[in-house]
Amino acid sequence: MNELHKNDGQGLISEYYLRELTPEELHTLQECLAEDSKARFEFVNTGRDEWLMHHVHHLGEQKITYLPPRLSNRRRIQAIAAGAAILVTLGTLLFSKTATFSEMIASKPTAPVIGQVSDLFVLKGDAISVVNDGDVRKLNSASKIRDGDRLVIPPGSHLAFRYSEEETEIRLGGNSLVHLRDLDGAKFVRLDKGRLFATVDPQNKDKPMRVVTGDAEVVVLGTAFEVFSTFSTRLTVQSGKVRFNALNSEDSTEVSAGHYADTSDSKLQAVSFKTIRLRPTLDNTIQNKMMKEFIQIDSQRGFEGFMKFDLGKMSGTLLEATLKLHVTGYHTDDGGDGHLRLFSVSPDRKGYGERVQVGQFKGRAGRGKDIRVDIDPSKISAQELAFVLTMDKGGNNFWFSATEGDQAPVLELKVAQ
């Protein structure tokens, strides 16, 4: 096992307890445990601490950070441990040790600092967790970002950080998994899944920034771009140009501003796109049409929002669709909190009739902030669109600015030319 592959295996030890590993990652971890006695020791040690933290959490009445244990992988943990022959040789020694309260929750990062958190949001009860060389820590708005950090960003959360001594900034969406490295001064970002947006200062031409996904590599000297990775990888470039390489073939292309490329296409090529921003032709609160400057969403009072958009004669392939709403308030309201659901409805029924969910937002947003609801583009086909916005029971009501308010809703579409 080479050194970089070995380091990947060691980094997966703690990450194993935070999320479901892919089959490839699990194989890497198994190889690492089979070949490295220190890794086997760390694996059992980490498993013990995860169990202890789970039980101390209940005794401490939620006064410490809670990292959820892997409830579904008991048999898999036992299989890996048995395969590596570690429980027999190390079990008695490990479980005879007494872990102090501070040892279980303290973070002892020693890796070099490469950046600083610039924006962070998490839902109540969640945390953006970081794994680095066996240590697990929780990020806050004052946290440092370190070489080797593996970021686990839960759904509904987001994180932005800025590299030291420059304006290069990475923004990560919810449900993203990212590994950061500094390779002799060159920035390396591995996006295992999720969405990444970057604005990159000019880089040394001999040490470009690299963003790698499961099937692609983005080589950057300085630009603004977005990478979205699921089963394939899509790159869209807002300014400058980047090199986009497929990892599963010899395909490679240069993508410049206003163009995108996707590894799901039969041949990797840059295709131009345009961004269309539409304001509603009609928007209101279905149950309260008197306050025209607001769209009120309140599950307790049954308030739902209605918005209608005219796409005109738009042509081309729709790549992405996002609804942006500006949070405002009435008198002392300072924001909202809850699970919002966006439904597509018939434009002619004024919010009534059959509803098909096309997007959702779960979280908080303060007054004066924007929320973005990603919409499944496959659900958009008509030239005129209408949406209903609702909230699940138990949420704290949102007041959004309507067209007659301070800032109208915006439907943003990325369309391939």
End-to-end CA distance of the chain: 46
Report the C-alpha gap between 276 and 278 in whole angstroms. Answer: 7
Q: pLDDT-derived band of residue 26, with 50, 70 and 90 as boundaries? A: confident
Residue 316's pLDDT is what? 81
> Do residues 123 and 362 lie in contact, with contact meaning Cβ atoms separated by under 8 Å?
yes
| Lowest pLDDT segment from 41-50, 54-63, 152-161, 309-318 | 54-63
pLDDT confidence of residue 331: 76
Q: Residue 3: which pLDDT band, with cuts at 50, 70 and 90? A: low
* C-alpha closest to that of 146 among 131, 167, 168, 166: 131
pLDDT 10s digits, 190-217 = 999 999 999 999 999 999 999 999 999 9
Q: The pTM is what?
A: 0.65
Most confident range, picked from 102-116, 232-246, 360-374: 232-246
pLDDT of residue 260: 92
Query: Which region among 3-17, 71-85, 165-179, 227-241 has the lowest average model confidence (pLDDT)?
Result: 71-85
Q: Which CATH number fits domain 107-269: 3.40.50.300, 3.40.50.10540, 3.40.50.720, 2.60.120.1440?
A: 2.60.120.1440
Give the pLDDT confidence of 317-332 residue by residue, as tens digits. Answer: 888 899 999 999 877 7
More confident of the two residues 85 and 376: 376
Q: How confident is the model at residue 6 (pLDDT cuts 50, 70, 90)?
A: low
Q: Which residues contact 266 (CB under 8 A, 6 or more apart)?
A: none
Q: What values do phi and psi take at 189, rounded to 5? A: -125, 120
- Rounded mean pLDDT, 5-24: 68
**pLDDT at residue 168 in the model:** 96
Is residue 269 predicted with pLDDT exceeding 60? yes
Q: For residue 77, what pLDDT band results from cuts at 50, 70 and 90? A: very low
Coil, helix or strand for 34? Answer: helix
Rounded Cα–Cα distance for residues 401 and 283 (Å): 10
Mean pLDDT (the chain, rounded) = 81
Backbone angles phi, psi at 299, to 5 degrees: -70, -30
Query: 114-118, 120-124, 142-146, 293-297: which range is least confident on average?
Result: 120-124
Looking at the structure, give the CATH architecture of the domain made up of residues 276-416. Answer: Sandwich (2.60)
- Under the banding of pLDDT at 50, 70 and 90, the label for residue 146 is very high
For 41-45, 125-129, 204-208, 209-213, which range has the lowest pLDDT when averaged over its residues? 41-45
* Structure-token pair, residue 31: 């190889």
Predicted confidence (pLDDT) per residue in 163-183, tens digit = 999 999 999 988 899 999 999
Those residues with Cβ within 8 angstroms of residue 177's Cβ, 6 or more apart along the chain or in another chain? 19, 150, 151, 152, 153, 191, 192, 193, 194
